[in-house]
Amino acid sequence: MPEELKVVGKPLPYQKAPGFVTGKAKFTADRFLKLERTGVLYGRILRSPYPHAMIRSIDTSKAEALPGVKAVITYKDAPSKLLPMECSRPRLILDPHIRYVGDLVAAVAAETPEIAEEALDLIKVDYEILKPVFDPEEAAKPEAPKLWPEGNIVDPGNKPYVIEEGNIEEGFKEADFIIKKEFTTQIQPHMCLEPHAYIAKWEEDKLTVWASTQTPTEIRIGLAEAFSMPSAKVRVISENTGGGSMGSKYLEEHVGVAALLAKKAGRPVKLVLNRYEVAVHRRRYSSKHYIKIGVKKDGTLTALDWKSFWDVGAGGTLVGGSLFGLDVINQYKFLNKHIEFYDVSTNLPTAQPYRSVPYPALNFALESMIDMAAEVIGMDPIEIRLKNAPREGEIVAGKKLSTFPIEECMKRACELINWSDKWMGFGKPYKVEGSKRRAVGVAYTAYSTGHYEETRGPIVNVMVDQDGSVYLITPTQDMGTGSTTTLAQIVAEEFGLDLKEVRVVSEDTSHGLIDLYNARASRELCTGGLAAIAACKDAKRKIAEIAAPKLGVKPEEIEVKEKKVYVKEEPEKAIPLSEVLAGPIPIVGTGKAEPLPTDVNSLDPVVCIADIEVDTKTGELNLLKCAFVLDAGRAINPKIVENQIEGGVLPSVGLALREEFIFDEANLVNLGTNYLDFKLITSADCPEVEAGIVESIDPYGPYGAKGLGEVGTTIPHAAIANAVYNAIGARITSLPITPDKILRALGKV
Amino acid sequence: MLYVTYMVSEEKKAKGVSRRKFLAATGAGVAGIVVGGVVGSQLFPKVETTTATETATKTTTATTTATTTTTSLIAKYPCPFCDKEFSSEAELGEHIKTAHAELITKEVKPPTIKLIVNGSQYEFKIGDEIEPNETLAETLRERLGLTGTKIGCDTGECGSCTVIMDGKPVLSCLVLTIECDGKDILTVEGLAKDGRLHPIQEAFIEHHGLQCGFCTPGILMTTKALLDRNRHPTREEVREALSGNICKCGAYKKIIESVLAASEKMR
Amino acid sequence: MVLKLFKHYDAKSVEEAVSILGKYKEKAKIIAGGTDLLGALKNKIYPEYPEVLINIKTIPGLSYIKEEAGSLKIGALTSLTEVAESSLVRDKYSALAEAASRVASPQIRNMGTIGGNICQLIRCWYFRAPSIAEGPLKCLRKGGALCYAMAGDNRYHSIFGALEGCVSVNPSDIAPALVALNARIVTNKRTVDAEGFWAVKGPGSTVLDADEIVTEIQVPAPPAGTKSKFLKFALRKSIDFPIVNCASAVTSGGGVVKDARVCLNAVYPIPYRAKKAEDYLKGKSINESTAEEAGEKAVEGAIPLSKNKYKIQIAKTLVERTLLACV
């Protein structure tokens, strides 16, 4: 872009921040307080103690008779239409088929939470116990207990997701070395800090829902469908959503429960999950990988044979390898490929997308293998990656790759961590002091940049007032990603305004705008930004049409900027916008993003180098520093990009070191259901993250930007695993890397 | 809940109706608080439970036997002075006034607790308004409308509910409101004065010390307590002081920078 | 998680608290800092939900740190922050200050008391399973017949076998420091050596009777030439309970050990005094080799469960390192 940008690219403060630092910003549970005397009832849920069962009968009479109880619901009250959830299997709001310990059985709405909880104890349930299955490989077998009529394998046709390219046998024949290994990753629950909260209120046939969610549109349309109502009669208000665990707050059964309770009770119902419920509500898959690669002495990757099983829990869908898995496979130029991914239902809590979805597990396996390949041929780990990564202009997955500055990202990461001083060779620490060993490890990935499902929205409106201030009305939710600010920066730049003259409105679906894909897949900035630009252009076109006769030119020759309307060639001949617009009637422009051309592929190169220390006498693993470099295309707001990197790294570090939800099959108990047991990273454990931003100015993104909200979580754990190998000379192939595993690898246990 | 306070008559005191005897006589339905001759009673419905026990077997490979007990609750209101039981508060009240008139000299106001929150005083009647099982977090949010203080885990593991009480950061989800009589409490709403943001709040905005904002109030309170105690903490001291506050978005780096910037501002 | 209703007393004296305890017995609990109790009540993990809570924070005169008659005396209601920051404790009884500074999080240290810390319940995720879906789990500490950890996930449990059938761990950081420093626990009824204070008593973790409360902790002034050290190994650097912790106090003279007290915790349902290590060290000088050997001796007789063998290595290492710090 030849002109200097005034707002885009500046580290301006986050627009929503004042509300949060004063405590004035409201989250869902902050509404309908006792002192407001709204007549709200409190919902509580009865949950199953069995992993797989059918409800034979359920007697709620005693619960209903308890003074203060206003409604009790079971599967008999639930609508027969499924909640059309996109990121987990559509399901009945309450189902007689129970599929995991903690699954919903019944719900109560009462005057106080205490009474609601007492009522739960009065509900008598007769379960027919069914045989459960917990291992995805077992569950994929035809003889396994069936969780869903379509079968347990979630991929279409109850068959695995298969990719065949070239000839895999030939590929292995060509190889000089063949490496084969198994990897596993653990269940990592989202455990968002703000517990899921919903308030449902019916007014005659209209339903209003206050929800903490990433997907207001999905909830609106989903509830309308389940309750067989027109979607115009469902309104979703989502002021702020907390938690930083991208992927846990979508349309889900609890909002249906709140709506159903409110309908039966005839009063508003507030349902707030407790910590245990949040833990068993949604989580990342666990996975098992059987991976084999062939490599030549010169570093060419001749073959990739990858079979993996992804446990997606009771109601997960394609949240394992099948979602974006292809991008990881394509981050290296394997000459021949055979991929077989099974996403399988099991009798465990439902898996749902969690920040970068399959990337963490895929990269753990693949990046470990690439390091092993490099070691066996005697090549530097950075060199082998640079050799096999694609470049701008090359064909990746049948499409031409847009900007891809992988060399610069590698170089920057090495500088940030001082790689040249610390890289000693595979299995060689750079410092040994007593029992403590320090080493570095590298990982890389190519991340899909958020050009996704553009045809499904968002559709945004840009409203220009007579005084020249602008409103961006968008259905997409900002859950802490800062998208309201970055989108506002884009709009401000388009109109030549200061940031504070642009407001973003997104809390209420009454605006009628939809985003059928919602805030997912890092697309808020990318697809949302393109939509905003389109809406700005539409608004400008409408202003230009009004101004054209006044300026005596054609509308195409007019520009609208800095609250002025002028002819492009003659900026000094400008009329104030306030004169062009007649009275306080705003101009509204509408816009939607155009999809990427079908022959273009847009990816983010991402590099992470981890510097770690292992205490070989206790197995303690300390992350000293982590350099993380990505290509932002253009950093619309560098501080927000840094926050997304620094914040995104933490779940990956958690995955590497300790965060784990455990299901005890012997006793049928969920473990790791609070922050203490599942070991969430505290500020005292947080590593030093050095974020590096490269800007390649992608021609396909808004102002050249690439989407990147989830990128931080894709690879740090892979870099850590590689660093551990370099520190202790033994490879840990199962996450999390606990002291137990390190001590075992060292032969001390 | 019925809250009834009676003065034990001087006569009865002389006759040896001591506090201990009173407590002994009242049985399971009553708690007594004696403050200089005034007997305060919190009368709770006595809960009778009838239990039916069923055994269900949870089977996979191991067999575990689970016992489910269904409880029925029957509310009864026992008289604190004799053995009679009544089925409603009103009936009990009537009974006391007639059958035990000699014990009552006057009805007095029930004990209250006074909270000082962000400089304003609030008074709540125990029993009528606040029960013993209410936590400070709930009181601040639901009764005073100060929803800045958040409930993240409700068991003291995340720090979202941090407030400053008598100068120290504490977890309000683990504090019983009735134990806060006379305490000076500061919440996030009390940081800004007359519409002007506190330097800590300004620093967090300028330095991007937040993302989704849910943990922010708790972190601001911990920060305020830290900077009041130690105006120039080192980076390590800041990290240590914040180690009881979880930020799931992972904004720790910028949070620490914001705290250090705030300490500069407050020089 | 809702706190069910209970009656609440503000006790004005130890006698009053004890008298109410005596009346209600198992149906009453005392509340000091509340940081262990209220979480346990919200999750409904007690076999019987208490009817009465007795607030002892309103008892005057139970919060102090002083030196008197050759002993450090700490009131039971003294906050952990105060113990951690007291220069008296840091200078002369360093293991205790170190332990106090590593408990939980800063907020919990402000609220929690030293008396409460040593009385806290065991840590076992079956014992503490919340009463929601599969809970409450009536394990044998609650009058049931089964120990879930035996066949289940016991990665954080005891490495020295069972005590009365239970393989949980005592998670207190203060406890091993008190044992290493030869402390005494004073209650309204008696004075007990720290070592004899913890026990398996139903769901409770101490020898306290139903009508007994801790009033003071006494630590005798260490003999000349004594150094003490506390180390905690946890997966997180804050908030976490220990996987293993260890406190050692060594009195040296003439370059050799005259007396050593080494106590591990989070390895057994009660604090575990490593007597074999102590005996081994007498008369020897502490160096890398003897410290390592002492570590080996400390874990002699360990009985790992299916998932916690790694704790033995960590326990060994902590013993070794605390001893080396006492040179």
Going by their DSSP bridges, the two strands B38-43 and A502-505 should be labelled as: unpaired
User: pLDDT tier at B8 (50, 70, 90 boundaries)?
Assistant: very low
pLDDT for residue B49 is more than 50: no
C218-258 pLDDT per residue, tens: 999 999 999 999 999 999 999 999 999 999 999 999 999 99
Distance CA B23, CA C23 (A): 9
By the 10 Å C-beta count (0-12 exposed, 13-18 middle, 19+ buried), A211 is classed as buried
Measured between beta carbons, which residues in chain C are less than 8 angstroms from residue A671?
Answer: 125, 153
Identify the pLDDT of residue A455.
78
Residue B174 is nearest to which of C20, C23, C111, comparing CB atoms? Answer: C111
Mean pLDDT of all residues in chain B?
76
* Choice among A116-125, B85-94, B97-106, C192-201 with the minimum mean pLDDT: B97-106
Q: Does A144 contact B at CB distance below 8 Å?
A: no
Residue C199: pLDDT band (50, 70, 90) is: very high
Nearest CA distance, C262 vs chain A (angstrom): 18
C129 and A744 in contact by Cβ < 8 A?
no
Neighbours of chain C (3+ CB pairs under 8 A): A, B
Q: What is the percent of chain A where pLDDT is above 70?
A: 99
Spatial distance between the Cα atoms of A716 and A722, rounded to a whole number of angstroms: 10
Q: Which residues of A touch C124 (CB under 8 A)?
A: none
Contact B169 C110 (CB under 8 A): yes
Residue of B nearest to C81 (CA): B168
**What mean pLDDT is predicted for residues B138-146?**
97
Nearest C-alpha neighbor of C196 from the set C214, C221, C177, C179: C179
Query: pLDDT digit string (tens) for A545-597?
Result: 999 988 888 999 999 999 999 998 888 878 888 888 877 788 999 999 998 89
- Output the CA–CA distances (angstroms, integers) from residue A535 to A7, A471, A539, A633, in the order listed: 18, 11, 6, 22
Q: Is the pLDDT of residue B51 over 90?
A: no
Q: Tell me the two tokens of residue A106.
A: 């019944």
Label residue A61 by pLDDT band (50, 70, 90). very high
Write down which chains contact chain A via at least 3 CB pairs under 8 A. Answer: B, C
Q: Which residues of B touch C112 (CB under 8 A)?
A: none
Q: Which residues in chain C are closer than 8 Å to B157, comparing Cβ atoms?
A: 239
Name the residue type at position A105.
V
Question: What is the average pLDDT score of chain A?
Answer: 93
- Domains in chain B and their CATH numbers? 110-190 (3.10.20.30), 192-267 (1.10.150.120)
Q: Chain C residue with minimal CA distance to B222?
A: C107
Closest partner residue to A22 among B201, B212, B243, by Cβ?
B201
Phi-psi region of C315 (alpha: psi -120 to 50; beta: other; left: phi over 0): alpha
Contact B216, B160 (CB under 8 A): no
Residue B99's pLDDT is 81
Q: Residue ranges of the domains in chain A?
A: 17-23+452-592, 31-130+193-243+248-281, 133-192+283-379
Structure tokens at A360: 């963490």
First-to-last CA distance in chain A? 60
User: Rounded to the nearest 5 degrees, what angle is found at the Cα of C113, between the Cα atoms of C110 and C117?
Assistant: 120
Contact B244 C81 (CB under 8 A): no
Residue C33: its chain B contacts at CB < 8 A?
A: 174
pLDDT at A28: 96
What's the 3-state SS for A56-124? Answer: EEEECHHHHHCCCEEEEECCCCCCCCCECCCCECCECCCCCEECCCCCEEEEEEECCHHHHHHHHHCCE
| Residue C35 with chain A: CB contacts under 8 Å | none
Q: Which two tokens stand for residue B69?
A: 């007990």
Average pLDDT rounded to a whole number, residues B214-230: 97
Does A13 lie at the interface with B, CB-CB under 8 angstroms? yes
**Partner residue opposite A114 with nearest CB, options C2, C137, C239:** C2
Helices B199-206 & B216-229, crossing angle to 10 degrees?
130
Quote the pLDDT of residue B50.
Answer: 46
Residue B38: partners with Cβ closer than 8 Å, 6 or more residues away = B5, B6, B7, B8, B108
Contacts of A50 in chain B (CB under 8 A): 58
Contact of A40 with A267, CB cutoff 8 Å: yes
Residues of B at the C interface, defined by Cβ within 8 angstroms: 20, 23-24, 28, 31, 33, 42, 44, 62, 64, 67, 131-135, 154-157, 159, 162, 168-171, 173-176, 178-179, 222, 240-241, 243-244
Report the pLDDT value the prediction gives residue B37, as an integer from 0 to 100: 30
Q: Is C119 within 8 Å of C208 (Cβ atoms)?
A: yes
pLDDT of A232 higher than 70: yes
pLDDT band at B36 (very low <50, low <70, confident <90, very high): very low
Q: Report the pLDDT averaged over residues B48-58.
A: 47
SS3 A219: helix
C-alpha of A629 from chain center: 19
- In the numeric block, the tokens 């360990």 are attached to C302
Residue B168 with chain C: CB contacts under 8 Å: 81, 110
Q: Is C167 on the interface with B (CB under 8 A)?
A: no
pLDDT band at A3 (very low <50, low <70, confident <90, very high): low
**Cβ separation C35–B171 shorter than 8 A:** yes
C224 lies within 8 A of chain B by CB: no
Q: What is the pTM of this model?
A: 0.91
CB contact under 8 A, C317 and A749: no
pLDDT 10s digits, A625-659 = 999 999 999 999 999 999 999 999 999 999 999 99
Look at residue A492 in the predicted model and tell me its pLDDT. Answer: 96
- The full 3-state SS of C185-202, as one line of letters, equals EEECCCEEEHHHCEEEEC
Instruction: Please tell me the predicted confidence (pLDDT) of residue A321.
Output: 72
Minimal Cβ distance to A670: which of C133, C235, C307? C133
More reliable by pLDDT, B102 or A463 = A463
Locate B105 and state its tokens: 């000299």
A379-387: average pLDDT: 97
C 5-24 residues with CB < 8 A to B = 5-10, 19-20, 23
3-state DSSP call for residue A690? Answer: strand
> Is the pLDDT score of B34 beyond 70?
no
* A244:B249 CB<8 A: yes
Checking if the pLDDT of B35 tops 50, the result is no
Residue B246 has pLDDT above 50, yes or no: yes
Domains A17-23+452-592 and A133-192+283-379 share a fold: yes
What pLDDT sits at residue A244? 63
In the stretch 11-70 of chain A, residues with CB closer than 8 A to chain C read: 47-49
CB-based contact, A37 to chain B, within 8 Å:
no
Q: Which residues of A, range 342-381, sit inside 8 Å of B by Cβ?
A: none
Whether omega for the bond prior to residue A405 falls within 30 degrees of 0, making it cis, is no
- Give, rounded to a whole angstrom, the gap between the first and last alpha carbons of chain B: 51
Please determine, for residue A359, whether its predicted confidence score (pLDDT) is greater than 50: yes
User: Picking from B75-79, B178-182, B200-204, which range would have the lowest pLDDT averaged per residue?
Assistant: B75-79
B37-48 pLDDT tens trace: 333 333 344 444
Over residues A93-115, the pLDDT tens digits come to 999 999 999 999 999 999 999 99
Q: How far apart are CA C37 and CA C43, in angstroms?
A: 10
Q: How confident is the model at residue A75 (pLDDT cuts 50, 70, 90)?
A: very high
- Per CATH, the architecture of A17-23+452-592 is what? 2-Layer Sandwich (3.30)
Is residue C295 over pLDDT 60?
Answer: yes
Contact A647 B205 (CB under 8 A): no
Nearest CA in chain A to B190: A22
Burial class of A229 by CB neighbour count within 10 A (0 to 12, 13 to 18, 19+): middle
Nearest CA in chain A to C102: A684
The pLDDT value given to residue A508: 86
The answer to whether residue B12 scores a pLDDT higher than 50 is: no
Residue A743, pLDDT > 50, answer: yes
**Chain B CB within 8 Å of residue A195 CB:** yes
For domain A133-192+283-379, give the fold.
Aldehyde Oxidoreductase; domain 4 (3.30.365)
Task: Choose the mutation target among A669, A674, A679, A681 for the interface with C, i.e. most C CBs under 10 Å.
Answer: A669
Question: Considering just the CA atoms, what is the radius of gyration of chain B in Å?
Answer: 25
pLDDT in tens, A279-292: 999 999 999 999 99
pLDDT range class, residue B90, cuts 50, 70, 90: confident
Cβ separation of C310 and A48 shorter than 8 Å? no
For chain C, the average pLDDT equals 96
Q: Which fold does the domain A31-130+193-243+248-281 belong to in CATH?
A: Aldehyde Oxidoreductase; domain 3 (3.90.1170)
Pair B212, B251: CB distance under 8 Å: no
**Higher per-residue confidence, B45 vs B191:** B191
**pLDDT for residue A476:** 80
B62: pLDDT strictly greater than 50:
no
Q: Do C42 and B31 touch (CB under 8 A)?
A: no
